[in-house]
Chain A
Amino acid sequence: MPALLEVAAISCQYDQRTAVANTSFNLEEGMLACLLGPSGCGKTTVLRAIAGFQKLDAGSIHLNGRCISGVGANLPPERRNLSMVFQDHALFPHLTVEKNVAAGLHAAPAAEQRETTQLMLERVGLAGMNRRYPHELSGGQQQRVALARALAPSPQLLLMDEPFSNLDLDLREKLRQEVRNLLKDIGATCLLVTHDQQDAFTFGERVGVMKDGAIEQWDTAYRVYHQPVTRFVADFIGEGVFLDGVVSPDHQIKTELAVLHGLRDHRYPPGAPVKVLIRPDDIIHDDNSPRSAKIKKRTFRGENYLYTLSLPSGAEILSLAPSHHNHAVGENLGIVLDIDHLVVFSG
């Protein structure tokens, strides 16, 4: 059974500038996926291409086995049976909530339109708001209306472009969960585009990390964090530093901190200079540990401290410690290494 969405080697250009270069991925039915990347990495262009607003310069896009985009051929967006949710919600300001939700149902009989609209409004918790206008709603409510409108025509695929970026932090957290649960409930297939890792981690069963118009890694959130396949992904996702090391004859890695060996094999020959990714949660604070490093800087983060530690060579590592472990800059901090996933790149 082929995937619901097949994006095959697509490239897109804007005014001679390549926005997307040879990008491929598949999305299974019922899957929630995220494209994650810094601004300008081409993730929104991919979304626009899938929706039919961006012409392809190479490659093709198939939806449900049917080709919807190719070079020189483009099924118009209105005939693709997919829906979109936007950062600015894009509600029609001159229409009521009810009419906004019904906007995609114009082909259905009136009774069915009313029924579906009512059902969708109940689903997103906005029953009774039918006659309101978008400007009378809060940001969160507007986003719920936008979601109801997008889901009402039962699209094959839901595309979301930074849907939570316009909301403040608490609401964002809440809505992320809500939307995820709702989409899983109805078994929707969704591709979300974001620059926010938390969005991607909470929401995405698959996360594609993009850089310069290409997907660097298409994987589960867990693997993207713990087993990044490129230095960019390692750098972009989470916090961490790269520590210099050398591959030893027995394929372990000798660093200033310790000789490291992980669960994963690496492909570097003995003697090769490498860089090892050390996350703050790999370095655990323990006052009784014989190993220690000098505190160079510390940042208070509420529930914990992020310590920047300096090693004798001048290299720095990060350590996350509970915030009641209050140590001054200049002190030596006892540390224990807890590195499960050895992430190694060439040095």
Chain B
Amino acid sequence: MTSTEAATQRRGALRALPARWWPPARPDPWRLGAFLVAAVTVLPVIAILLLAFFPSENIWPHLLATSLPGYVANTLILLLGVGVSTLITGVTTAHLITTYEFPLRKSLEWLLLLPLAVPAYVIAYLYTDLLEFAGPVQQTLRALFGWRLAGDYWFPEVRGMGGAIMLMGLVLYPYVYLMARASFLEQSGYLTDVSRLMGRGPVNTFFYVSLPIARPAIAVGVALALMETLNDFGTVDFFAVHTLTAGLYDVWLNMGNLGGGAQIGATMLAFVIVLISLEYIGRRNRRFYQSAGRFNLKTRRPLAGGARWLALLLCALPVVFGFVVPAGLLLNHAIGNFHASWTSEFRVYAFNSLWVSVIASVACVVLAIGVGYARRLHRTASLAAAARIASLGYAVPGAVLAVGVIIPLAAFDNAVDAFFRARFGFGTGLLLSGTSFAIIFTYVIRFLAVSIGAVEASLGKVSESMDMAARTLGYGALQTLRRFHLPLIKSGVLTAALIVFVDCMKELPATLILRPFNFETLATHVYHFASDEMIERSALGALFIVLAGLIPVIILSRTIGAAGELSRTIGAAGELSRPTAAGNPTAPSPER
């Protein structure tokens, strides 16, 4: 056995070794890259906070005295309303689907996801068109009952807070549905059995056992739905509901006050922190509540008589109003106005949407692989934190992110411009902030979480001994990634890219702020026409967006058999995707 003296001697000898035996002492590029990605991702948030609290002109007092309290109140009412609405719809449908057997249950299980494909702003335009005074519903009513004027009868007003809550609830409940459903499925059937044996009825058991156990999962679902609510601009703008998001646009774009925009953005970040905490706490507690092991023989109870049809109705309603009606209307409008809509401009917009989304999704996936692999190479707490920070963009509303992106980019542009003017006598103008770079940059920050989640989940399925085997067989870190990991995580990565792509296609608030002059995507095109009450002309674009939105829903519904869990925007593609080869690569088959 070697004494410590000998060891010290060796350590001395170590220093004397020829340099070529050792890799040069430089920081690991993977680690460095991951930290860089995290730093860039957090830049917009820092920029907003800096500008909000150290503004060139202080409009806080003005904001506080005038519009801000109203914005905050409206935002709170909207969040509360959408929260309650998605909670009731999502939990009820999830409970019915997982507990009972009734007609069409199997189809409804995935049909209930479809409303997720319809952006809130699209459904808002459609229902307004359908239900307004000149719309087909009121026309029919007037014809039926002989009313002539608006004063003759009462009809609910869609364009307002109530309408916004209803319609957003209609397309955002799937977040809650998915999480609640997964949680109900995971719960051991024995738990409800025990409760029933102790003399509690089915309703009592639901509130006493099933619901409390699912609470963390439901909290995650509601948090995700509310993040989307906070992000929405199209609906609140169209309905003239003065939320913080609408206020941010007003202060910045209409009043030209970037500092004020940043201050409203900072206020929204407070909401974001609350929602992230809600999600985090939910996810953390969820781990302790996942009870069912392999002995989960939960059987669905067949419903009899009227109850069957009531269950069917309750589950069909959200699908009909959240997807079937809007999709039908869109299709109808799109076909009726095809020639007016399918113009060369339209094709340019579609192409714009396509290429910015493709670049953004490729960038997201590449960065996610870098961050995910860095974490695999160095399992340190600091890299885990870096990955978390890089994933925060999903919670920051697009409009806030846009303000946060424009501040540093504009500063950069101005600095370069000033330098060139001073040095060479000509300006460079807006190099980054006024170009599509700003849009792509924002997309990447906002949707990086989706790809990081997916890549980490896929990588997590590859046994760590695979890395060690490859490395000891003489492959470097990059070679190991290229030759052994990428083939195994390929399908997970593709799924992630697809979901990011669709998210980018649908994105409206940030695109609207950041797009260069005369640059339109399908989403902004739909917004412009629809907010000018020309929904017919924008229907084709909206239809494209909805069709694209169906892609992740289909991916999701294919994996719904397993208790697929949801991260953001049908996110966590990794949890949904199953790389064929990497599924369970190392499980030995039985010897005999």
B-contacting residues of A (Cβ < 8 Å)?
6-9, 15, 22, 24-26, 48, 51-53, 59-60, 62, 66-67, 70-71, 73-80, 82-84, 86-94, 103-104, 106-107, 134-135, 137-140, 142, 146, 149-150, 153, 155, 159, 161, 166-168, 171, 218
Contact = CB atoms under 8 A, between A and B. Distances in A.
A3 B219 CA distance: 60
23 contacts: A6-B2, A24-B1, A24-B7, A60-B7, A60-B14, A70-B10, A71-B11, A73-B22, A74-B23, A76-B477, A77-B471, A78-B472, A79-B474, A86-B463, A93-B585, A104-B472, A135-B585, A137-B589, A138-B588, A139-B588, A139-B591, A159-B472, A168-B591
Contact of B475 (A7, A78, A137, A138): A78
Given A83-B472, A103-B473, A138 B14 contact: no
B348 interface: no
B582 interface: yes
B468 A84 contact: yes
A15 B382 CA distance: 11
Interface in B471-500: 471-477, 484, 487-488
A345 to B, nearest CB: 21
B144 interface: no
Contacts of A60: 7, 10-11, 14
B585 A24 contact: no
Given A60-B10, A166-B588, A103 B468 contact: no
A168 B592 CA distance: 10
A62 B10 contact: yes
Contact of B590 (A9, A62, A139, A149): A139
Given A8-B2, A73-B14, A88 B472 contact: no
B586 to A, nearest CB: 4
A134 B475 CA distance: 20
Contacts of A87: 465
Contacts of B1: 24-26, 218
Nearest to B475: A78
A53 B581 contact: no
> By DSSP majority rule, is chain A's interface helix, strand, loop, or mixed?
mixed
A8 B468 contact: no
Contacts of A106: 474-475
A90 B2 contact: no
A168 B582 CA distance: 24
A60 B473 CA distance: 22
Nearest to A76: B23
B66 interface: no
A90 B472 contact: no
A110 B477 CA distance: 23
B113 to A, nearest CB: 31
B11 A76 contact: no
A66 B22 CA distance: 11
B465 A90 contact: yes
B154 interface: no
B487 A94 contact: yes
B590 A78 contact: no
B14 A67 contact: yes
A70 B14 contact: yes
B474 A107 contact: yes
Nearest to B21: A75
A302 B397 CA distance: 69
B6 interface: yes
Residue from B23, B468, B470 with most neighbouring chain A CB atoms (10 Å): B468
Interface string B5-28: 011001101100100011100000
B4 interface: yes
Interface of B: 1-4, 6-7, 10-11, 13-14, 17, 21-23, 381, 463, 465-466, 468-477, 484, 487-488, 581-582, 585-586, 588-591
Nearest to B23: A76
Given A9-B2, A59-B7, A82-B472, A75 B22 contact: yes
Given A73-B14, A77-B471, A88 B586 contact: yes
B480 to A, nearest CB: 8
Closest 4 A-B residue pairs measured CB to CB? Answer: A139-B588, A104-B473, A93-B585, A9-B7
B14 to A, nearest CB: 4
Contacts of A78: 471-476
B589 A135 contact: yes
Nearest to A89: B586
Nearest to A7: B2
Nearest to A87: B465
Contact of A24 (B2, B466, B468): B2
Given A78-B473, A167-B591, 4 more contacts: A78-B471, A89-B586, A104-B472, A168-B591
A82 B22 CA distance: 17
Nearest to B583: A93
B21 to A, nearest CB: 7
B458 to A, nearest CB: 13
B474 A70 contact: no
A83 B484 CA distance: 17
Given A82-B472, A83-B472, A88 B2 contact: no
A9 B4 contact: yes
Contacts of A48: 468
B468 A89 contact: no
B17 A67 contact: yes
Contacts of B476: 76, 78
Nearest to A158: B472
A289 B589 CA distance: 52
A77 B591 contact: no
A67 to B, nearest CB: 5
Contacts of B475: 78, 106
A146 B588 CA distance: 12
Residue from B17, B23, B471, B487 with most neighbouring chain A CB atoms (10 Å): B471
A24 B7 CA distance: 9
Contact of A86 (B6, B7, B468): B468
Contacts of A80: 472
A88 B469 CA distance: 11
B589 A67 contact: no
A153 B469 contact: no
A21 to B, nearest CB: 12
Given A103-B473, A104-B473, A88 B465 contact: yes
A92 B581 CA distance: 9
A86 B14 contact: no
Contacts of B469: 84, 86, 90, 92, 103, 146, 149
B11 A92 contact: no
Given A67-B17, A84-B468, A103-B473, A8 B10 contact: yes
Contact of B588 (A52, A62, A142): A142
Nearest to A52: B471
Contacts of B472: 51, 77-78, 80, 82-84, 104, 150, 155, 159
